[in-house]
Structure 1
Amino acid sequence: MITTKIKYKATGLKWISEIPEHWELKRLGGLFDERNETVSENDFNPLSVTMQGIVPQLESAAKTMHVDNRKKVCIGDFAINSRSDRRGSGGLSALEGSVSIVNTVLKPSAYYLPEYTHFLLTNKLFQDEYYAKGKGIVADMWSTRFSEMKTIFLPVPPKAEQDEIVQYIKAQEEKINLFIQKKQRFIELLKEQRQTIITNAITKGVDDNTKTKNSRVEWLGNVPEHWKIVRLKFLGESFIGLTYSPIDLVDKDEGTFVLRSSNIQNGKFTTDDNVYVNKEIPEKLILKKGDILLCSRNGSAELIGKNILIDEESEGNWFGAFMTVFRSDLNYYLYYFFNSNVFKSQTALFATSTINQLTNGILSNLTIAFPENIDEQKRIIEHIKTETATIDTAIAKADREIELIREYKEAMIAEAVMGKRK
């Protein structure tokens, strides 16, 4: 890394006020050519442009009948999603294939090293400037075309410095990623501890002196003698969500928000990846406070069964066909059953040769042991809340530390590609 003091010059630009004196400043259109070749996904494998880069098409990606109207991507191209609601989705492609026409594809530039291109065009400062050039009806649905993108000024450092910057960023990323991995492992251990507390409480109760009996259910083992053993279908009802096709998908202001698996993250309701449909929706598919919403179909077996307890924030929404609701007067207690090792141990029942799924039949026939006495249920719930409170605080703290280090990483990359390494 260069240790001599760097002199800077003003650019007259808001998004990048100054660059090293010996660097050039050029418009993007003079540095990159657009690749605008229309191809079919039957000839070029479909790819998704995500915040993690260019990857084989995701199962969750909205499909279209227009398979012949896609953009070609070659290895080494840079692709970016032009829609502002997909901000941050882009990267250098290590794959050849095709992407949706909402993406802009740039050919490799003779002015830049490939990895420097990736860091330059995915950093937050450039992303903000890129989407600010866009046009649209509402702020969260703007699109930036290449004709607008090419007017953006970019710094052009000598290639030797580009390589130095890339190596610096990669070295810093390695340290940051290691920190994140350790924190994520710590969170996993805390979650395992939390699940153990929940599992013990909903299978053994909170009174150590309670007599037990053999439940005659392998995954339950011995349970308190006075508890009732019953299938879930006798405690409530379950039903799958709305079935819709790609032609039903519309923009936010034209349709109804439908919850999917991606709207459940770490046991909480999120709105980071939303889908809207224009279709008549049955009244029974409106979520009610106290419902338990579960992911019931997914390509990943690990995601089957993840769930949330519907609260004031999430009630009133609808949910998609790969989701299932369980509705019962006992849901505030049963919620902990669905978040216990007892429930998770049944994931083998969800796997099929085609797709992992928790069918209504499987769900309804799962066996649970529980106390019929409401006061005892409340004591168990309070015990779980008390015993897991410290764990939840520690998880939240570790999550926040990961969030902060990611923000630092973002700022570090932005400064480095602009010639402001410390």
Structure 2
Amino acid sequence: MTKLQAYPKYKPVDYDYVKELPVGWQLLPNIAIFQERIERGFIDEELLSVTIGKGVIRQADVDIKKDSSNEDKSKYKLIKVGDIAYNKMRMWQGALGYSQHKGISSPAYVILNPKMKINPKYFHYMFRTGFYTNYSKRFSYGIVDDQLSLRYTHFKRMYSIVPPLETQNAVVDYLDRKTKKIQEFISKKERLVELLEEEMDDIINYTITNGLNRDCELVTSKYEWIGNHPKHWSIKRLRFIGSCQNGISAAGDKFGKGLPFVSYSDVYKNSSLPTDVEGLINSNKKERENYSVKRGDVFFTRTSETIEEIGFASTCLTTIENAVFAGFLIRVRPKKDILIPEYSEYYFRSIIHRAYFVKEVDLVTRVSLGQDLLKSLPVLIPPNDEQKQKFNYASSNR
């Protein structure tokens, strides 16, 4: 990487994340730079989403789409070109961006409208840096990471580095050029990875729904996302194969020390639960009994601000002694000898359920997966010996 030249003169700054700035640069409170845009009633505008990876994009470009034609959009917020929008539950993870589109978004997003003459894309780049997302986390409020929220009330108290406008423009031009070259290189590599992953997913998903015996008789399921499946396999609603339990709700002072705590992130990021979770909570005996984490349990993410994060599943392959799990999760505990845990890991993490959840969940200010909806999920159940075969086959293709 080419080494950038230092500025000839710097001035001291008395703030915790920056100690000096080039002469002519400012450190300003966000309230001096942005105001919150709250404009509703534009129901005919296209829907926009705020993502961690791509910033503000058209919802039509999201990989998993939800038919929202019948939703009440009267409370959706307007985003104009040049605004910056952020997901208040995921700002600390980089879920924000400069909008190149005019549209509407979930009422749960915060829309920032510049109050002064700036290049908003400069702030797009700055807000997505590691130091600024960590800074955002400090101003976010919530019991645990999964519940952190950065409201505009708190965002406006934060400070941002503001160079002269010509410098902002130069920074944006430089980063646009560099990121374009890097993205072109990454895209070529990603395409190769995508092809390999698609092949792997096709193998796993076909095996999940069709089995390994290519000569067995198939029947067409009435559930279009399941498609064809072996005639001797059964389909049962989740309510008939296990029990559901929402996670623990506890005061903030109980977290940070004590016994193991399975978080939203533990489930969202992993097809099987890590055996050593990082979260801790002071739980009592009754709570540990009610919210226990045992081998074979399947945990689903139940609430989010985006449709893409609903219904992700993670299976417990090893009992976590004395653990409890987060309130943003639903635990499904299958009845004995119906589902082999290793099969559950691949089955419930596969993409075949995504269409069901996307079609059925409700989006108001947050997407919510309730127990009633989860219990109605049709589950494809092969005989136990075939579950073992499918797990071994899927594992060998990872």
Normalised to the residue count of structure 2, the TM-score between the two structures is: 0.56
Secondary structure of the residue that 2:125 maps to in structure 1? helix
Structure 1 residues 150-174: Cα deviation after superposition (integer angstroms, max 9, x where no partner):
xx46242351x43332122112222
1:173 maps to amino acid: T
Structure 1 residues 308-349: Cα deviation after superposition (integer angstroms, max 9, x where no partner):
322448774267698865444341353377279xx867888x
Tell me the distance in 1 between the aligned counterparts of 2:111 and 2:291: 38
1:109 alignment counterpart: 116
Q: Is the 8 A contact 1:49 1:81 kept in 2?
A: yes
Tell me the distance in 1 between the aligned counterparts of 2:80 and 2:305: 27
2:169 alignment counterpart: 163
Secondary structure of the residue that 1:11 maps to in structure 2? strand
2:366 alignment counterpart: none
- Equivalent residue runs for 1:185-264 within 5 Å: 185-195=191-201, 198=204, 203-204=211-212, 214-217=216-219, 219-220=228-229, 229-231=232-234, 233=236, 237-240=241-244, 242=246, 263-264=267-268
2:25 alignment counterpart: 25
Q: Is the 8 A contact 2:83 2:113 kept in 1?
A: yes
Q: Does 1:335 align with 2:337?
A: no
Residue 292 and residue 139 in structure 1: after superposition, are their counterparts in 2 closer, same or farther (change >3 A)?
A: closer
Q: 1:267 aligns with which of 267, 271, 283?
A: 271
Q: Is the 8 A contact 1:240 1:323 kept in 2?
A: yes
1:127 CA drift (Å): 4.3
Secondary structure of the residue that 2:344 maps to in structure 1? helix
Q: Is the 8 A contact 1:49 1:99 kept in 2?
A: no
Q: 1:368 aligns with which of 379, 382, 386?
A: 382
Structure 1 unmatched runs, 5+: 61-66, 206-211, 223-228, 273-279, 393-422
Secondary structure of the residue that 2:32 maps to in structure 1? coil
Secondary structure of the residue that 2:12 maps to in structure 1? coil
1:231 maps to amino acid: S
1:419 alignment counterpart: none
2:179 alignment counterpart: 173
Q: Is the 8 A contact 1:289 1:310 kept in 2?
A: yes
Tell me the distance in 2 between the aligned counterparts of 1:292 and 1:203: 22
Tell me the distance in 2 between the aligned counterparts of 1:304 and 1:129: 27
Q: Is the 8 A contact 1:108 1:114 kept in 2?
A: no
Q: Is the 8 A contact 2:298 2:331 kept in 1?
A: no
Structure 1 residues 224-279: Cα deviation after superposition (integer angstroms, max 9, x where no partner):
xxxxx342559971345549xxxx99975589x8977994346355999xxxxxxx
Residue 24 and residue 95 in structure 1: after superposition, are their counterparts in 2 closer, same or farther (change >3 A)?
A: same
Residue 118 and residue 17 in structure 1: after superposition, are their counterparts in 2 closer, same or farther (change >3 A)?
A: same
Residue 180 and residue 371 in structure 1: after superposition, are their counterparts in 2 closer, same or farther (change >3 A)?
A: same
Tell me the distance in 2 between the aligned counterparts of 1:318 and 1:354: 23
CA RMSD of aligned residues (A): 6.1
1:213 CA drift (Å): 6.1
- Equivalent residue runs for 1:12-411 within 5 Å: 12-13=12-13, 15-16=17-18, 23-29=23-29, 32-35=32-35, 41=40, 51=52, 53=55, 75-78=81-84, 86=92, 88-93=94-99, 94-95=101-102, 105=112, 107-110=114-117, 112-129=118-135, 134=139, 145=154, 148-149=157-158, 152=159, 154-157=161-164, 159=166, 161-195=167-201, 198=204, 203-204=211-212, 214-217=216-219, 219-220=228-229, 229-231=232-234, 233=236, 237-240=241-244, 242=246, 263-265=267-269, 267-269=271-273, 287-293=293-299, 307-312=313-318, 316-317=324-325, 326-329=334-337, 330-332=339-341, 334-335=343-344, 338=347, 350=356, 360=375, 363=378, 366=380, 368-369=382-383, 371=385, 381-382=391-392, 384-385=394-395, 387-388=396-397, 392=398
2:343 maps to amino acid: L
Q: Is the 8 A contact 1:290 1:311 kept in 2?
A: yes
1:56 CA drift (Å): 8.5
1:25 maps to amino acid: W
Paired residues in the alignment total 342
1:335 maps to amino acid: S
Q: Is the 8 A contact 2:316 2:341 kept in 1?
A: no
1:406 alignment counterpart: none
Q: Is the 8 A contact 1:298 1:304 kept in 2?
A: yes
Structure 1 residues 33-81: Cα deviation after superposition (integer angstroms, max 9, x where no partner):
44257x5755799987664545789999xxxxxx999998665344567
1:363 CA drift (Å): 2.2
1:86 CA drift (Å): 3.7
Tell me the distance in 2 between the aligned counterparts of 1:169 and 1:292: 43
Q: Is the 8 A contact 1:286 1:317 kept in 2?
A: yes
1:24 maps to amino acid: G
Tell me the distance in 1 between the aligned counterparts of 2:75 and 2:237: 51
Tell me the distance in 2 between the aligned counterparts of 1:345 and 1:109: 48
Residue 146 and residue 70 in structure 1: after superposition, are their counterparts in 2 closer, same or farther (change >3 A)?
A: farther
Secondary structure of the residue that 1:145 maps to in structure 2? helix
Q: Is the 8 A contact 2:25 2:161 kept in 1?
A: yes
Normalised to the residue count of structure 1, the TM-score between the two structures is: 0.54
Determine which structure has more spread, i.e. the larger CA radius of gyration: 1
Structure 2 unmatched runs, 5+: 67-72, 221-227, 256-260, 279-285, 363-368
1:308 maps to amino acid: S
